[in-house]
Amino acid sequence: MTALHIRPAAPADTPLVLRLLDDAVAWLTAQGRTGQWGTEPWSTDPRAVDIVERYLTTGQPWIAELDGEPVGTVTLTDGPGPYLKPATEPERYVHLLVTARHHAGHGIGSALLTHAAEETRRAGVSLLRVDCYAGDDGKLVTYYERHGFTRTESFVGTDDWPGQVLARRV
């Protein structure tokens, strides 16, 4: 794999982030894994587009590129979405972590999580948290655990969506 470059993103990258999310939804749907993000592209859901625009405007978004091709994204904010309580100490929160499925297994998500931890440390913050889909076989929760996160609390979101909050000290 060519060297991965992680660059700051901007609101103008919204279509790119939506395309990565749309591709992930299509990939999950093809596997019959529709519980995480449903079956419809994010780009066709005004609420999802609003979420992406809000995080790219108010958060600290990043794009991973291979030879100039966008292959992943992550956004950091100072706290979780409105469906969860913030931590009782300063934190950075991972949102919109997604990678191009045709580059799966090449460490892009790992690189983005490492970058998120470095940015959290650089900000003088020691707590990095994320929440994710905890249904089906729990592979996503296990993925975050392999990257140094530990389970802190489970929750149930809209439409009985099973979620898990995980935290990591950096």
Q: What is the tens place of the pLDDT at every residue in 73-113?
A: 999 999 999 999 999 999 999 999 999 988 888 899 999 99
Domain residue ranges in the chain:
4-126
Beta bridge partners of 95: 75
| Mean pLDDT in consecutive groups of 10 residues from the start of the chain, 170 residues | 88 97 95 92 97 97 95 98 95 97 89 98 98 94 98 94 97
What's the sign of the alpha-carbon dihedral 44, 155, 59, 27? Answer: negative
Domain covering 4-126, topology: Aminopeptidase (3.40.630)
pTM across the whole model? 0.94
Residues 6+ apart with CB under 8 A from 80: 86, 93, 129, 131, 165
Amino acid at 165: V
Mean pLDDT (the chain, rounded): 95
